[in-house]
Structure 1
Amino acid sequence: MAAYSQYHIDGVVFSPNEEPWRLTCVYGEARTSECHKTWGMLKFIKASSPLLWLCIGDFNEVLHREEHLGVNERSNSQIQAFREIVDVCGLMDLGYVGTAWTFENKVTGGTYSRVRLDRALATPGWSECFPMAELRHLTAVASDHSAIFLRHEPKEGQPIHARIFRYEAMWESHDKFAPLIEQVWNAETRTNMQGLERKLMSLSGSLTPWGRDILCHVRRELKELKSKLAELRVAPDRVGPSHRELKIVERLVELQHREETMWQQRFCI
């Protein structure tokens, strides 16, 4: 990490067989009168580094008027100020896959204000190095702000490391976890050290494929539920969350908690 402030986290990314590049995660100033602080920060980073550059995050501004649907439209001067800093920094918008907005807010009268506040901007050199880069707007569950996810294709020829057994805390929330443990543990009747070693080897051998299947199931169900939720939220006659939406959100929160437990554990390893 090279630097940080209330508006950004800035660092350099090093990967095997790849040229170093600069990553800046942005949270733009929400107050219109203070937006110049965010734009000034981006201009400073551009002037201080010759590296390929990717900026990603919530810029709290739009590049085009059609990116703001609903009330409280932005002024031309706001939009133009964002466009100018993008041009000065030599950046270009990477586009997106998903809904046309990343922020949705219900306003008086039952209508919605939908705005594309989040995006990824990159220099032409970065885009040339990562031509398959793709930004996705993820479906928000319990927030009015959608997450964004950037993915680029890995370089060919990178070594694949053998995996070792890792216990996943998220398994404990599954109703079939305890019965599986009991079944595998009781299958070995010896109580000496050899028997204990055999029990542990059998457990790791059984839990690894079982856990992989569970994780695949969780991710598959998350994807299906998010797709259903997205369809319900863009329905032309929608005026608010339906009972079906609320049930889907409830299930998504449960599944995301399992997935979050897994990632929290892995980040600590």
Structure 2
Amino acid sequence: MSILCYNCRGLGNDPAVVRLRGLLRGETTDVVVLLETKLSSQEIQGVIKRLGGVYDGVGVDSVGRSAGVAILWREGVEVDVISSTAHHIDEAIRGVFNVDEWRLTGVYGWSRHEDKWKTWRLMKDIKSLSSLPWVMIGDFNQILFEHEKKGGAPREQALMDEFREAVDECELLDVGFSDVPTITLHHLEFDKSDHMPIKLAMFSPIKSFKGKRFRFEDMWVTSEGCEEVVRESWVHSGALGSGQDALYKLGACSRKLSEWSKIQFGDLRKQIEETRKRMHFLDSCPPLPETVNERKGVC
């Protein structure tokens, strides 16, 4: 089972459709997620017909000539739409892996800085609609970590933190940076674009992952005791003799660091949420000296 995801940046002209047709001709894929189509749902059906009858599919209306999502699938794949907006399509899929159903969501996130919170809210709202095993793929117009991009101005840390919180709350794993043996993800060199298509290949039925993924916090590095926790957990978790031992040691380190952090700093997620609520409250207050000073202190 394979999924191809492509930000086509508009499909409203012949060259764009020809490029898409060329991409799909060179890749055997079961499902195609198209982002930023800039078309109406009716226009998407016209594009699907021009692909030669290989795919069926559904699209949602763009907002003017921005956003817009479409999902296409080959014969034999059965699809029911669960929900959709101009920024997403959420579907239940059958006909692969000999499992009853699983879930695929294609997302095109809001690009404007002041609107990015809408993407996090959309992700959480989508999660609440179904408990099926879930794959979410798309262009979120946001990164989880600074090292995920090359060049340009640094991304705002608060936005990366909020995106990671949304991913955690949705109980999702970043496949590009996770050890999932039955899944591969790679970028396709195509059209010399900085919006390279990605192809996700899955070799077994999708399973639900429970629990929050471990994240190393930058502030731990400068905190007294962190290095000792890492050293102790690594040394006392067995001899390093194989890849399996290494994974075991990494797991031991993550558990010990999580326990140490909770003792050292308390519930960081709760503290962040309380601080954010306090910030919202202060923003709504008149600019009196005491509220202005408190806001500076919170920042």
TM-score w.r.t. length of structure 2:
0.39
| Between structures 1 and 2, the one with greater helix share | 1
In terms of Rg, which structure is larger? 1
Q: TM-score normalised to the size of structure 1? A: 0.43
